[in-house]
Amino acid sequence: MLSISQIPPAIRYMLISALGFALMAASVKAVAGYGIPVLEIVAARALISLLLSYADIKRKKLSVWGTNRKLLLARGSIGAVALICVYYSVTTLPLAESTLLQYTHPAFTAVLALLFLKERIQLATIACIALSIVGLAVMVAPELLQSGQMVLPGLSVAAGLAGAFGSGLAYVLVRRLSQTEDSSVIIFYFPLIALPLSLLLLGDGFVMPGIEAAALLVAVGIFTQVGQVGLTKAMAVEKAGKASAYSYVQIIFSIVLGLVFFGDIPTLWTWLGGGLIMAAALINALGKR
C-alpha cells in the first residue's frame, strides 16, 4: 500500500492546496448568500491573508519586500484580478461548474510556461490539455446546441475562464519567482495588491456582515492561506504545467461540498465533461510512469 511519505511532495502540496481552495470556494458561495458583495469578500480574504502572511514573514525574519519587486507586483496584480473573476463565477454558478471552469488553468499554465519559462510540454500534458478542452465543451456546449440558449450564464462562464487564464499566468510567475524568493514573500504580495484594489472598486457598496457572515469571511481567509501555501510550495518543487494539473482533485471536493451544503446536483453534461477533465488530470499525473 502506498504510504503518505511515498507520495511525491508536489502532489502532497497540491492535494492540501485543492482542499483548502475547495473549502474557500464553498465559504465564498455561502457568504454571498447573506448579501455580501463579491468585492467585499475579496477584501476580507485579502485582509486576513495579508496579516497571516506578514506574521509568517516576520517569523522567518525575512524582508517583506523581496528582491524582484517588479515581478512580485505583477504576480500580485494578476492574481488579484483573477481572484475577482473567480469569485464572481463562484457566486453566480453552481459550485461544481464554477470549479470545473477554474480548473481549465493547467492548459493555460502549460502554454504560458512554454512561452515564458521555456518549459517543454510533455506528451502527457498535451493529452491533458486536449481532454480538458473537450471536457469543457461537453459541459457547456450541448445545452447551447439543443436549445439555442446557454443554461449557464455567459458572463459567469467568461469570468470563470478569465480567472483560469489569470491563475495560469500567476502560477507561471510563481514558478519564476520561486527561484529567488521565499514562498511567504510571494504569497504576501497577493493580498498586498488585492486589498486596496478591491476596496477601491467596492466604493460605497460595503455591507455590514452579521456574526455568521463574519465567521464565513474569516473562513474564506484561512482556507485561502492553506491553499496558497500548498500551491506555492508545489510550484517550487515541480514544473508549473505539471504541478498545477494535480489540483484537479478540487473538482471532487467541490462536487461533494456543493451537493451537501447547497443542494447542487450536477447535470449529466457536467458529469461527462468533469469525467473527461478528471481523466486528463490522471493522465498528466501518471505521465512519467
pLDDT computed for residue 149 by the predictor: 55
The C-alpha cell 476580507 sits at: 44
Across the chain, mean pLDDT equals 83
Q: What angle do CA 152, 251, 87 make, to 5 degrees?
A: 55
pLDDT at 183 over 60: yes
CA distance 96 to 99: 5
pLDDT band per the 50, 70, 90 thresholds, residue 4: low
Q: What is the pLDDT of residue 130?
A: 84
Q: What is the pLDDT of residue 57?
A: 93
User: Which pLDDT value is given to residue 15?
Assistant: 82
Q: Report yes or no on 134 lying in a domain.
A: no
User: What's residue 228's pLDDT?
Assistant: 75
Q: Does 212 fall in a domain?
A: yes
**Domain extent for 175:** 8-119+155-265
The per-residue pLDDT for range 92-126, each reduced to its tens digit, is: 988 888 888 887 777 788 788 888 877 777 787 78
- Give me the pLDDT at residue 238, please: 65
Half-sphere exposure of 33 (CA within 13 A, CB side): 12
pLDDT digits (tens, 9 = 90+) for 119-168: 777 787 788 788 878 887 787 666 555 555 556 677 888 899 999 999 88
The answer to whether the CB of 285 falls within 8 A of the CB of 245 is yes
Q: How confident is the model at residue 246 (pLDDT cuts 50, 70, 90)?
A: low
Residue 208 phi/psi, 5° resolution?
A: -70, 120
Residue 133 lies in a domain: no
Q: Determine, yes or no, domain membership for 135.
A: no
Statement: residue 1 has pLDDT above 60? no
Q: Which among 287, 283, 230, 284 has a CA at the least distance from the CA of 253?
A: 230
* pLDDT band at residue 70 under the 50/70/90 scheme: very high
Residue 104: which of 202, 250, 215 has the closest Cα?
250
The answer to whether the beta carbons of residues 189 and 66 sit under 8 Å apart is yes
Side chain identity, residue 209: P
Predicted local confidence at residue 242, as pLDDT: 61
Residue 212 scores a pLDDT above 70: yes
Residue range 53-66: mean pLDDT, rounded: 91
Residue 288 has pLDDT above 60, yes or no: no
Which pTM does this prediction carry? 0.81
Instruction: Report the residue count for the chain.
Output: 289
Is the model's pLDDT at 174 over the cut of 90? no
Mean pLDDT on 1-27: 77
Q: What's the number of domains the chain is made of?
A: 1
Predicted local distance difference test score (pLDDT) of residue 71: 92
Q: Is residue 146 part of a domain?
A: no
Q: How far apart are alpha carbons 218 and 49 in whole angstroms?
A: 10
Q: Higher-confidence residue: 289 or 227?
A: 227
pLDDT score at 218: 92
| In-domain check, residue 283 | no
Structural domain includes residue 196 = yes
User: What pLDDT does 73 receive?
Assistant: 94
| Surface-to-core class of residue 121, CB atoms within 10 Å of its CB (0-12 exposed, 13-18 middle, 19+ buried) | middle
Residue 80 lies in a domain: yes
Q: What is the pLDDT of residue 151?
A: 63
- 200, 39 Cβ separation under 8 angstroms: no
* 180 pLDDT more than 60: yes
DSSP string, the chain: ---GGGS-HHHHHHHHHHHHHHHHHHHHHHHHTTT--HHHHHHHHHHHHHHHHHHHHHHHT--TT-S-HHHHHHHHHHHHHHHHHHHHHHHHS-HHHHHHHHTTHHHHHHHHHHHHH-PPPPHHHHHHHHHHHHHHHHHHHHHHHHHSS-SS-HHHHHHHHHHHHHHHHHHHHHHHHTTTS-HHHHHHHHHHHHHHHHHHHHTT------HHHHHHHHHHHHHHHHHHHHHHHHHHHS-HHHHHHGGGGHHHHHHHHHHHHH-----HHHHHHHHHHHHHHHHHHTTT-
Average pLDDT over residues 278-288: 68
Gyration radius of the chain over CA positions: 18
Q: What percent of the chain has pLDDT over 70?
A: 85
